[in-house]
């Protein structure tokens, strides 16, 4: 028996990993869920989303003041998620950065109520 004919003790593990990776490519990470954290601070709402495998040019953000929609399509990854924000925000105040697959978005909070002058 040659040394090369013996079973590789790690062969089964690597075969299983390759099988699982193949399944991910076939079934698609095509509609992956991003890991998203939302923070409600005093005057701002902050959102941090992990979007592995996405380039800045593939990213699209839309906000209507209560919901942030994150869409990204690249290679094997497609993200299309709507995140309900914990408080109404001024969507025009958005400040977003994207670095190494991590998205940071900050919004100014809208006042919960408006004062009404009585005449």
The contacts of residue 51 (CB under 8 Å, 6+ apart) are: 34, 59, 70, 72, 77, 79, 98, 101, 102, 103
For the chain, which residues score pLDDT lower than 50? Answer: 1, 25-30
Position 28 scores a pLDDT of 45
Which helix H or strand E contains 92, and what residues bound it?
strand 89-99
pTM assigned to the model: 0.67
Domain architecture of the chain: domains with CATH: 30-109 (2.60.40.790)
Position 117 scores a pLDDT of 75
Longest dimension (CA), the chain: 100
Return the SS3 of 53.
Answer: coil
As a whole number of angstroms, the distance between CA 119 and CA 115 comes to 13
């Amino acid at each position: 028996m040659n040394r090369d004919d013996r079973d590789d003790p790690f062969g089964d593990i690597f075969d299983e990993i390759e099988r699982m990776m193949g399944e991910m490519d076939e079934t698609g990470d095509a509609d992956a869920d991003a890991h998203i954290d939302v923070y409600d601070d005093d005057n701002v709402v902050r959102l941090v989303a992990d979007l592995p495998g996405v380039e800045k040019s593939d990213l699209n953000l839309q906000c209507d003041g209560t919901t942030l929609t994150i869409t990204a399509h690249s290679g094997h990854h497609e993200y299309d998620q709507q995140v309900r924000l914990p408080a109404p925000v001024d969507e025009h105040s958005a400040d977003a950065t994207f670095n190494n697959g991590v998205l940071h978005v900050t919004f100014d909070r809208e006042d919960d109520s408006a004062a009404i002058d009585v005449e």
